[in-house]
């Protein structure tokens, strides 16, 4: 599909998800191109009279929400988030397990998702995969100190590791002040085991594997918009 078609599908999915927000909710605001469509739709709904507060998952989303007049909050004021709307780099059919974080905000995204009663993922159908790692690299956020040693440990668990860099060629710095190592795996057959192996490495802050966190995915494509749920075991 063309980039214009993909953007239109993302917008359709995001606008449907934005309709799930109800008066009085605490809403997690995701990061990335698809989530930005959802934030824009929520900005319109707020101007039309819907009242909610947003918890942004990145500085970029925080800036967008403020520009739209969406009131923002954090975990000092709210213990839980009612609903988070976010994008994903890959969505596994059946399980709705995810790879997220190519936008560089995976730590904050995961903190908000883990505190959410519902995590709704919005994406175009190109993000649907049978197995994680089919198309996407797996971002892993690591501490700057000793990142080379952390990269070697990641290689020991099967990853081909590349440090992410900015457009200027410098090491990419996340909103949390950490680095991101983009990891290629030859397929992730057991996402939970892979997440555990990565998380056990000293120096790893968080990985972009979101296992068992999504409650629903809104996927748009040429035939329309579909709402997917975790398949019964």
Instruction: Please identify every residue annotated as catalytic.
Output: 109
Tokens 């605490």 belong to 26
Q: CB within 8 A of 68, min separation 6: which ones?
A: 39, 40, 42, 43, 46
Q: Of 109, 94, 97, 88, whose CA–CA distance to 214 is shortest? A: 97
Q: Are strands 98-99 and 224-228 parallel, antiparallel or unpaired?
A: unpaired
CB 172 within 8 A of CB 179: yes
CB 142 within 8 A of CB 55: no
Q: What are phi and psi of 211, to 5 degrees?
A: -105, 125
Q: Are strands 26-29 and 90-92 parallel, antiparallel or unpaired?
A: unpaired
């Amino acid at each position: 599909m063309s980039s214009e078609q993909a953007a239109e599908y993302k917008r359709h999915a995001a606008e449907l998800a934005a309709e799930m927000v109800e008066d009085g909710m605490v809403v997690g605001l995701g990061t990335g191109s698809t989530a930005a469509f959802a934030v824009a739709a929520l900005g319109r709904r707020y101007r039309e009279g819907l009242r909610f507060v947003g918890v942004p998952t990145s500085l970029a989303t925080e800036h967008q929400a403020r520009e739209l007049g969406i009131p923002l909050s954090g975990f000092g004021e709210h213990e839980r988030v009612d609903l988070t709307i976010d994008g994903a780099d890959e969505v596994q059919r059946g399980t709705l397990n995810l790879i997220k974080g190519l936008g560089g905000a995976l730590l904050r995204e995961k903190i908000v998702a883990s505190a959410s009663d519902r995590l709704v993922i919005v994406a175009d159908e190109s993000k649907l995969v049978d197995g994680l790692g089919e198309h996407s690299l797996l971002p892993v956020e690591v501490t700057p100190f000793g990142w080379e040693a952390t990269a070697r440990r990641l290689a020991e668990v099967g990853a081909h590791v590349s440090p992410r860099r900015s457009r200027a060629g410098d090491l990419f710095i996340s909103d949390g002040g950490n680095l991101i190592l983009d990891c290629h795996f030859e397929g992730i057959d057991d996402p939970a085991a892979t997440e555990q192996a990565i998380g056990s490495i000293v120096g790893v802050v968080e990985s972009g594997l979101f296992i068992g966190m999504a409650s629903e995915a809104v996927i748009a494509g040429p035939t329309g918009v579909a709402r997917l749920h975790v398949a019964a075991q």
